[in-house]
Amino acid sequence: MLSEQEVKEIKQDIINQIESTFPVEQIAAARQQIEGMNSEQLEDFLEKNKIIKEENPNSSPECIFCSIASKKIKSCEVGENEDALAVLEINPISKGHTIIVPKTHSEKSPKGASKLEKEVSKKIKKKLKPKEIKISKSKLFGHEVINILPIYNSEDFNSERKKVTLEGLEKIREEIEKKQEKKTKKPKVEKIKESLWLPKRIP
């Protein structure tokens, strides 16, 4: 059972996530829903969304980003190293909007997160061909998360977000991960003119 203080902190964490990821028109209703939950309803919500650690239902809830990093929550991965995981944002601002999630619960990104950000940015630039790529760091749920935002027109981090299905994200992931086929030159085959010899016809 969660304590009153834990309920308060978890609700605030979820509301912060809602305000940073939900479309503007949905924020008020979602916030009201979370604020109206009692302790039991909140625990039920955390369990259904796989935010409570499975091995011990009475343990402290695991944050959303830890659940993504440990792959308990399904996401579309576009890169990974020992320190961090790169996944496509489920509420993206633009096509290929990606977040780098550290694998350890810390407010400071590990070195590997910056390395992964550079690798993924390069891949997005090459495959999706945006005009530029903007990088932003934000602290949510006790994590420092890196946002990679491809710019095609005049998007910025305050632009409207769109809801995309996992199937839609999977198509974008395939586009980013698709390997370029090397064009192999066909060897030129020289035609050899053969002189066909036929015996003279005898009448």
Instruction: Convert the pLDDT of each residue in 3-54 to its tens digit.
Output: 777 778 778 777 777 776 666 766 777 788 888 888 877 777 776 665 544 4
Which CATH code fits 70-178? 3.30.428.10
**What is the phi/psi pair of residue 80, to 5°?**
-160, 145
Burial profile 78-108: b = 16 or more Cβ within 10 angstroms, e = fewer: bbbbebbbbbbbbebbbbbbbbbbbbeeeee
Is the pLDDT at 116 greater than 80, yes or no? yes
Over 70: is that where the pLDDT of 120 sits?
Answer: yes
- Domain boundaries of the chain, sorted by first residue: 1-62, 70-178
3-state secondary structure of 138: strand
Q: What's the residue count for the chain? A: 203
Give the chain's largest Cα–Cα span: 117
Distances (CA, A) of 115 to 70, 79, 105, 112, 124: 19, 11, 18, 5, 15
**pLDDT mean over 175-191:** 67
Task: List all residues 6 or more positions away from 27 whose beta carbon is below 8 Å from its beta carbon.
Answer: 18, 19
Query: Which of residues 64 and 175 earns the better pLDDT score?
Result: 175
